[in-house]
């Protein structure tokens, strides 16, 4: 098939509509991506039950999530190379089968090492399903129908992490925590069936395996995996006060050096950072990193606020989080038409403004705020995420040639996940430090000379004395209650500041949206060669 010829004359009519097998392939890719993104967060709500069953402490239990993210982010940029080696169908079939096996291993786990191995395996093979879904859409759908495919992909990327805690919490409460993993088995069987029906058989290209950029592969594997662990665990271990974090940071630096060397010496680098020389593609990567940080950070902040301040359980918090998914379903029929007619720059800027506006709606939180106080911000957030992410998905593909689409998809999805990890690491540090600052500031303002403070203490002590009849104990209870109120108020102020910081970060990306490229078919031009 000649791209040059396609650019020289109008595309034949049959190329304007995808065949049934094309849509089966797209559905298979979408289902695989949904399974992979859902499993990122499906264990979050069920973590207490899982830790109890396998005998893990709270700190050890974090590796159930960190192990998945660590291996997933390594696989995402490797997916394009492994697709060339094994062929798309063979590669995805192998990943689907392995994902089911690792899921079964997690469900059967009775020890922490067994669970971590299963989760690392899940993340590694699941990470391949996200960029390959985008590649299938790019290569199997004609330009006129690509907005529909990209909308499906974007919807999955947004809803997977949102649905994960809700599905996981419900399964853990009503059936068993093991079903957080067993649920992948019937989905995996359906995925294998669709892959066999929708993708043609291909022969492996073992020479691509032998002649691969092994310097880059080793650098990418140790660099990204150690970076993810540093970002996930750094704040918990007080950053560079921990020898473990220092060691992993050195390993990460070595990995990054190897990646840089591979860019200079490899004929075909495993991670094509040369794509970043394209300002249109580079702007997409920067924006999607910021939006990814916003997605992950909000998915962390809102449930944390509801749990710590409002006293919500995981299922109640999940219901509030799902509000942001409502616009996604309502806009799904409309978005492909918008993507086909409206300039991407306008859509992305509108999305960033809505997303930032939703964060600004949450800066006036109080200790009395509950779930319904997030209703309008969550709705606006859902609109913003859809308007920003959908065009970015397609703009990332429009900025590169068809031959570069696999590498571009890997870099795009890695940037989104890495942006989320960086964002979570930053807000974790901000929350801890600002919370300590506000707690100290409020305590300093409550001196012995504070008439209001002394009156409140006396009133509370009198109330407790009426219940217990022990004045000394009543005074201690009153002081404990005051300390809890100070801690709660400091936390509320801190969360409000964090939402403000997220809004500023999103607004700084607005100028970059002006560099985005709208696909040629939207402007009425014939597709150019290679695009």
Domain limits, the chain: 15-211, 213-269, 438-490
Cα–Cα distance measured from residue 213 to residue 79, given in angstroms and rounded to the nearest whole number: 14
For residue 282, the SS3 value is helix
pLDDT at 475: 65
pLDDT at 171: 81
E strand map for 7-82? none
pTM: 0.71
Q: ∠ at Cα 486 (475, 237), nearest 5°? A: 115
Cα–Cα distance measured from residue 324 to residue 37, given in angstroms and rounded to the nearest whole number: 17
Q: Which two tokens mark 15?
A: 């190329």
List the pLDDT tens digit at each of the 531 positions of the chain.
Answer: 333 333 334 444 445 676 778 788 888 888 888 888 888 777 776 777 777 777 776 566 667 777 787 788 888 888 878 888 888 888 888 888 999 999 999 888 888 888 888 888 988 888 888 778 877 877 777 777 777 777 777 777 777 777 777 787 788 777 888 888 888 899 889 888 888 887 787 787 787 777 777 888 888 888 888 887 787 777 777 777 888 888 888 988 998 898 888 888 878 787 777 888 888 888 888 888 887 887 778 777 887 788 778 877 767 777 787 888 788 778 777 777 777 777 888 888 888 899 899 999 988 888 888 888 889 988 898 888 888 877 877 777 777 777 777 778 778 878 887 887 788 778 877 888 888 888 888 777 766 666 666 666 666 666 666 666 666 666 666 666 666 777 888 888 888 888 888 888 888 888 877 777 665 544 443 333 333
Handedness of CA 304, 305, 306, 312 (dihedral sign): positive
Cα–Cα distance measured from residue 426 to residue 125, given in angstroms and rounded to the nearest whole number: 28
Where is 426: in which H helix or E strand? helix 405-445
Contact between residue 125 and residue 75 where contact means Cβ atoms under 8 Å apart: yes
Helices and strands in the chain, H and E counts: 22, 0
pLDDT at 101: 92
**CA–CA distances in Å: residue 42 to residues 126, 137, 230, 264:** 14, 26, 22, 40
Cα–Cα distance measured from residue 234 to residue 49, given in angstroms and rounded to the nearest whole number: 25
Q: Does domain 15-211 have CATH number 1.20.1250.20?
A: yes
C-alpha gyration radius of the chain: 25
CB atoms under 10 Å from CB of 12, counted, come to 8
* DSSP label at residue 362: T
For residue 512, the SS3 value is helix
HSE-up of residue 133 (Cα within 13 Å, Cβ side): 33
pLDDT at 8: 38
**CA–CA distances in Å: residue 359 to residues 138, 146, 153, 386, 438:** 33, 31, 25, 15, 21
For residue 399, the SS3 value is coil
Contact between residue 65 and residue 192 where contact means Cβ atoms under 8 Å apart: no
Cα–Cα distance measured from residue 188 to residue 238, given in angstroms and rounded to the nearest whole number: 40
Cα–Cα distance measured from residue 483 to residue 416, given in angstroms and rounded to the nearest whole number: 40
pLDDT at 16: 65
pLDDT at 395: 76
Q: Where are the alpha helices (DSSP H) in 239-366?
A: 243-265, 279-308, 314-321, 326-331, 335-341, 344-361
Cα–Cα distance measured from residue 463 to residue 343, given in angstroms and rounded to the nearest whole number: 64
Q: Find tokens 């971590």 and name the residue.
A: 116
């Amino acid at each position: 098939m000649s791209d040059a010829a396609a650019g020289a004359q109008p595309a034949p009519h049959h190329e304007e509509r995808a065949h049934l097998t094309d849509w089966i392939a797209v559905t298979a890719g979408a289902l695989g991506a949904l399974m992979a993104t859902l499993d990122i967060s499906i264990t979050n709500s069920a973590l207490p039950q899982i830790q109890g069953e396998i005998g893990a402490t709270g700190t050890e239990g974090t590796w159930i999530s960190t192990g998945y993210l660590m291996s997933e982010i390594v696989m995402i940029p490797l997916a394009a190379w492994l697709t060339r080696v094994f062929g798309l169908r063979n590669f995805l079939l192998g990943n689907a089968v392995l994902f089911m096996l690792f899921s079964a291993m997690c469900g059967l786990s009775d020890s922490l090492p067994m669970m971590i191995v299963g989760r690392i395996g899940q993340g590694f093979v699941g990470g391949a399903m996200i960029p390959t879904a985008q590649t299938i859409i790019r290569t199997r759908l004609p330009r006129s129908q690509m907005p529909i495919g990209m909308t499906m992909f974007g919807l999955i990327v947004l809803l997977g992490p949102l649905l994960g805690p809700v599905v996981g919490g419900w399964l853990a409460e009503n059936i068993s925590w093991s079903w957080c993993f067993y649920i992948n088995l019937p989905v995996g069987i359906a995925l294998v069936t669709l892959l066999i029906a929708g993708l043609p058989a291909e022969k492996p290209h073992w020479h691509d395996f032998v002649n691969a950029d092994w310097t880059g592969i080793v650098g990418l594997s140790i660099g990204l995996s150690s970076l993810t662990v540093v970002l996930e665990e750094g704040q918990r271990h007080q950053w560079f006060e921990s020898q473990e974090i220092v060691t992993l940071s050195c390993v990460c630096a070595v990995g990054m050096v190897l990646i840089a060397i591979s860019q200079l010496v490899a004929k075909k680098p495993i991670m094509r950072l040369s794509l970043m020389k394209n300002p249109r593609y580079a702007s997409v990567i920067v924006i999607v990193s910021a939006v990814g940080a916003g997605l992950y950070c909000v998915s962390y902040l809102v449930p944390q606020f509801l749990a710590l301040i409002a006293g919500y359980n995981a299922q109640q918090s999940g219901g509030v989080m799902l509000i942001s998914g409502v616009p996604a379903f309502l806009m799904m029929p409309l978005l492909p038409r918008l993507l086909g007619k409206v300039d991407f720059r306008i859509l992305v800027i509108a999305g960033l403004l809505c997303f930032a506006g939703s964060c600004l709606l949450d800066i006036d939180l109080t200790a009395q705020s509950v779930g319904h106080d997030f209703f309008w911000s969550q709705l606006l957030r859902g609109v913003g995420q859809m308007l920003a992410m959908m065009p970015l998905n397609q703009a990332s593909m429009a900025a590169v040639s068809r031959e570069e689409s696999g590498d571009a998809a890997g870099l795009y999805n890695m940037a989104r996940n890495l942006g989320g990890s960086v964002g979570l690491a930053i807000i974790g540090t901000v929350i801890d430090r600002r919370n300590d600052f506000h707690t100290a500031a409020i305590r300093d303002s409550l001196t012995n000379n504070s008439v209001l403070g002394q009156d409140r203490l006396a009133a509370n002590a009198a109330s407790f004395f009426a219940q217990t009849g022990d004045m000394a104990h009543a005074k201690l209870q009153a002081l404990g209650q005051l300390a809890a109120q100070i801690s709660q108020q400091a936390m509320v102020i801190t969360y409000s500041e964090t939402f403000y910081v997220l809004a500023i970060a999103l607004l700084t990306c607005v100028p970059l949206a002006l560099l985005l490229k709208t696909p040629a078919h939207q402007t009425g031009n014939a597709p150019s060669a290679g695009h």
